[in-house]
Structure 1
């Protein structure tokens, strides 16, 4: 069971996870209208998100310095800036304006992502409890709520700017909880140890990359896949990312309990296989219910891959190096958002969205076949 003491211990970073879920869930449901307003093709839309991903990766490299400077104030300050930056996509018209708007939003999101994951890793070391899946579950439930709410507001004709403004108001309330974060000591004489090398960080980061690519593919393209290929309406299309978010939340709560009983390697291995099956089912579904079932399987599987990899690698790293390790893991992992948009867009333009999701399934097979064994080997050598 999920212990109340775990929720209390991580309530500050959990609020940051919820904030990011609110905005990306809203964005996923609004993709069709934002894409149409910007006048972008599938390939151009993917390239616009590629520009945004570049900003996020650059921000992640600087995130440890931001955390060191702001300390306990880092999460609430970054959350407010994230809320403000997401107003820009709601106003953007034209490809360049949309790309710049998403660049600003991604910079804030990427920086906050590193800070909150590093804080959870430190809390795991302090409490000796698995907390990463719990926090990522809170992101997923917030994402689900936002995707459904934004889809209904879109169906009612409410403008994207208003949708993002509503999520901004909720974020201001969450910053009150974030402000309660304590300063955590990231180093002490007892935790001195060897800095992590790329033999551990690279395969771990690539696992996260493929997980995020799979997640982003569903977040950014499922509504288009359902509406274009299966004739779904706006609300039915928004159910694609909503189903993903809901099942990811359920999967991560389950992963919170399973992580205490199964090894990280075994959990990641089977989760990757389940995600691949879900991607194939969603890609070639003949009717909406089957597509939803595919996205549900995908969500259950992909839900635990990234948080388990973060926790697994973080556990191998001395405390004084943990924020830097999380930053490097995030930079590699978030390349999934860097690679995913143009990859999905270009394949969709050339062969259709079903082939894009099929490619995602094939990439997922690299996790159990190659990457997870490499991380296991690197962990044994430390």
Structure 2
């Protein structure tokens, strides 16, 4: 048992070490989104927005994300080895805006810039991990996404303390920006260039991208709803305080980190499609528990189970498309799936806001459970694809 545990720990550490440069970028994005999730009640009150309006304002991020679909691959080619470095600096600067904006229209514009910066860095860092997977012939995606969750949980816990102390969100985000810029030098990484096989006569891999993108979208939409609305659910629906509210997204981040590190080991032994199906059922159960929770502790249990399950679905969707497409199209396919998936982080809060506005947060979290269950038939469709490697 001790040997198995030691072997598992070494496997995880080795995966993180092999991909340490993109892993640092994953941590950066996690830090900013964790901080944002914990400050949602503050930012919403600062704007004086209703649930529905706040959800619509978050949709502004989708504008930037859609732009990143086209800009990121081009920027990646131009920036080369400095792609992640420029992406982190851009993201750090973008996040200094939403915290001190007090008018809805300006907030939507600020979030659009955040969406563009976050989307570009997401595409670039996921492409680098996929290239490393091909080079080292081993799965690395879960370990890197676990680092996002670690950063997310640390930031949410820190924000719980800063909110309780009455520290301004502007100062917290500014401090994070300085910290992230300091680690930029370690993120320089060369880009793998793969030329098309002259004998390749296949069609563009639309269906692998679409199906894997849909699986990833379900995962990230579900994750985004808890990130953006869990603090409000604990504080408003269940009567928790500011620190208790911030623990909602922190619980999600902690359990997702555990789930993704575990997924790193599982992905080396089990079929990805099987893991996605089991994880979807598990996370849906967590969403139901959060929806019917009678106390903050029960809600934390639901968020934790949801986090453990949903944690592996998105990374496996990204890893799968890397296996389903020709090598010379891998980076482009990863970028398309990443953008489809990460759009969930922006569309989900808007939909959640509308559901909450008309039916309440309990019904909104129940809808998340239904969404998660849709990953099961999608995963079955991926398995049936003739080019699938599972």
1:1-382 superposed matches below 5 A: 1=8, 2-3=10-11, 4-179=13-188, 181-187=189-195, 189=197, 194=202, 196-368=204-376, 370-380=377-387
CA distance change for structure 1 residues 137 and 68 in 2, over 3 Å: closer, same or farther?
same
Return the offset for 1:110: 0.4
The alpha-carbon deviation at position 224 of structure 1 amounts to: 0.2
Range that drifts further, 2-11 or 77-86: 2-11
Distance 1:12 1:287 in 2: 41
Aligned partners of 2:370 and 2:249: how far apart in 1? Answer: 21
Q: Is the 2:34–2:249 Cα contact (8 Å) retained in structure 1?
A: yes
Deviation of 1:60 after TM superposition, in Å, equals: 2.2
Q: What runs of 5+ residues in structure 2 fail to find an aligned partner?
A: 1-7
For residues 190 and 241 of structure 1, what CA distance do their matches in structure 2 show? 49
Deviation at 1:57, TM superposition (A): 2.1
CA distance in 2, matches of 1:79, 1:361: 33
CA displacement at 1:36 relative to structure 2: 0.7
**Residue 4 of structure 2 aligns with which residue?**
none
Distance 1:366 1:189 in 2: 36
- 3-state DSSP class of the match of 1:87? coil
Q: How far apart, CA to CA, are the structure 2 residues paired with 1:23 and 1:151?
A: 14
Pairs aligned (count): 380
CA RMSD in angstroms, aligned pairs only: 1.6
Instruction: Give the direction of change, closer, same or farther, for the CA distance of 1:359–1:256 in structure 2 (3 Å limit).
Output: same
Name the CA shift for 1:172/1:191 in 2 (closer, same or farther; >3 Å): farther
- Distance change in 2, residues 1:188/1:8 (3 Å): farther
Output the CA distance in 2 between the equivalents of 1:213 and 1:322.
24
d(CA) in 2 for partners of 1:174 and 1:378? 41
Q: Say if 1:16 and 1:174, in contact at 8 Å, map to a contact too.
A: no
1:376, distance to aligned residue in structure 2 (A):
1.0
| Offset at residue 296 of structure 1 (A) | 0.2
Report the CA distance shift for 1:285/1:190 in structure 2 as closer, same or farther (over 3 A): farther
Runs (5+) with no aligned partner, structure 1 = none
- Assess, with a 3 A threshold, how the Cα gap between structure 1 residues 240 and 193 changes in structure 2: closer, same or farther: farther
Deviation at 1:256, TM superposition (A): 0.1
Distance 1:8 1:196, change over 3 A: farther
Normalising by the residue count of structure 1, what TM-score does the alignment of the two structures yield?
Answer: 0.96
Contact in 2 for aligned 1:195/1:318 (Cα 8 Å) = no
